[in-house]
Chain A
């Protein structure tokens, strides 16, 4: 079954404690991205990756890091989380950057930073 898997799904953490949200896809997709969703703001792209070892900033990259060492994995790293990073996060993948490719979303990760 084609899927994008995120972990953890729910996390409460404290300010400053480094955390990583993992994302894995089993479809051999080249393009992967991370979004955050906040009330009234829709989905905003944090980082994206065109392929292995190729990553770039999206609209709201501040406070986040990513890596793409393997094609299937695209972890999101919060080095020093702050309360304004409390949000719902989605990982997504598609065959390529072309928007007409079907985009597969993970189930989302609810992150609360206190």
Chain B
């Protein structure tokens, strides 16, 4: 089992729809969860972080965390073509010497 798993996609949604991206993690002791957006050939940029169970909203983005199910998701409302990118889930695994463990990413395409 991978430590951080994401559906690789590609995921396609029409413009204006809600895009839902999912991530599961293996370490129940994980404390911090991050979503990065990465445009093709560019460096990752942080768009959301969440530390507590529940929802966290920032503009069109909502991160949802369920530690009991070891599941974190990212919702993008009113999706725009400029949201087309790869979204990386990253987790700070308890007891790991690694600062963050990244999933393999989900490629999102928003169709005009």
Measuring CB to CB, which residues of chain A are less than 8 angstroms from any residue of chain B?
31, 33, 40-45, 48, 56, 58-59, 88, 90, 94, 97, 99-100, 102-103, 105-108, 110
- In order of increasing CB-CB distance, the 3 nearest A-B pairs are A99-B92, A105-B43, A42-B104
B contact residues, total (Cβ < 8 Å): 24
Stretch in B63-71, B74-82, B93-101 touching the partner: B93-101
Indicate if the CB atoms of A43 and B92 lie closer than 8 Å: no
- With most chain B CB atoms within 10 A of its CB, the pick from A42, A56, A103, A108 is A42
Within 8 A of A (CB), among B11-66: 31-32, 34, 41-46, 49, 51
Q: How would you classify the secondary structure of chain B's contact residues: helix, strand, loop or mixed?
A: loop
- Residues of B contacting A33 with CB < 8 Å? 99
Indicate if the CB atoms of A106 and B100 lie closer than 8 Å: no
| Known contacts A40-B104, A41-B104; A103 and B99 CB within 8 A of each other | yes
Indicate if the CB atoms of A42 and B41 lie closer than 8 Å: no
- Residues of B contacting A48 with CB < 8 Å? 97-99
| Known contacts A42-B105, A58-B98, A59-B98; A106 and B88 CB within 8 A of each other | no
CB distance from B41 to the nearest CB of A (A): 7
- Residues of B contacting A40 with CB < 8 Å? 8, 104
